Structure 1
Amino acid sequence: MACTIKAVVNFGIFLAILDILHGLTTAGFYGYRFIAHSFYLCPRELDITICQNKIYIYEQRYTLRTYIGLGEGVITPVFDIIYIVALVKHMPWLTWLWLFKSFGVMGINVFYISRWMVRSGSFDHITYQPQEYEELFLLVGAGLTVAQLAIMVLYCIIGGVFTYKVAEERTRSRRSLHRSPRMRKALVLAATAPPIDVYDDEDEGGSVVRATIDNHFVNHGLSDSTHKLPLPGSNGSIDQVGRSDTLRQPTQV
Structure 2
Amino acid sequence: MGCSMKATKGWGIGMAVLDILHGLLTLGFYGYQFMVNYFYICSNDLDIDLCYGERYVYSQRYALRTYIGLGEGGLTPIFDIILIVSLVKNNPCSVWFWLIKCFGIIGINIYFVSDWMIRENHFEHINYAPGKYEYHFLVAGIALTLIQVALLILFCIIAAIFTYKVAEERTRARRSLRSLHSVRSNKFRNASAPSIDGFDEDNVSYRNHALADSTNKLPLPGSNGSLDKTSHSETLRQPTEV
Normalising by structure 1, report the TM-score: 0.73
Gap regions ≥5 residues in structure 2: 194-242
2:129 corresponds in structure 1 to 129
Q: Could you tell me how far apart the structure 2 residues matched to 1:38 and 1:191 are?
A: 83
1:219 corresponds in structure 2 to none
Q: Deviations over 1:123-150 (max 9, x none)?
A: 1011121111101100000000000000
| Correspondence 1:45-194 to 2 at 5 A | 45-180=45-180, 184-190=183-189, 193=192
Q: Which amino acid aligns with 1:34?
A: F
**8 A Cα contact 2:52 2:128, kept in partner:** no
1:214 corresponds in structure 2 to none
* 1:41 to partner: Cα distance: 5.0
Q: Could you tell me how far apart the structure 1 residues matched to 2:145 and 2:192 are?
A: 67
Structure 2 CA distance for partners of 1:120 and 1:95, relative to 1, 3 Å: same
Q: Could you tell me how far apart the structure 1 residues matched to 2:82 and 2:44 are?
A: 47
Structure 2 CA distance for partners of 1:41 and 1:58, relative to 1, 3 Å: farther
Identity of aligned residues (%): 52
Q: Which runs of 4+ in 1 moved over 3 A?
A: 190-194
Structure 2 CA distance for partners of 1:187 and 1:45, relative to 1, 3 Å: farther
* 1:183 to partner: Cα distance: 5.3
* 1:3 to partner: Cα distance: 1.2
Size of the aligned set, in residue pairs, is 193
1:246 corresponds in structure 2 to none
2:229 corresponds in structure 1 to none
**8 A Cα contact 2:53 2:126, kept in partner:** yes
Q: Could you tell me how far apart the structure 2 residues matched to 1:53 and 1:191 are?
A: 93
Q: Could you tell me how far apart the structure 1 residues matched to 2:184 and 2:109 are?
A: 62
Q: Deviations over 1:139-197 (max 9, x none)?
A: 000000000000000000000000000011111122223344x7513333247745xxx
**8 A Cα contact 1:41 1:55, kept in partner:** no
Q: Deviations over 1:43-74 (max 9, x none)?
A: 23211110000000000000000000000000
Gap regions ≥5 residues in structure 1: 195-253
Q: Which amino acid aligns with 1:188?
A: K
* 1:2 to partner: Cα distance: 4.3
* 1:6 to partner: Cα distance: 0.7
* Superposed CA RMSD: 1.7
**8 A Cα contact 2:13 2:84, kept in partner:** yes
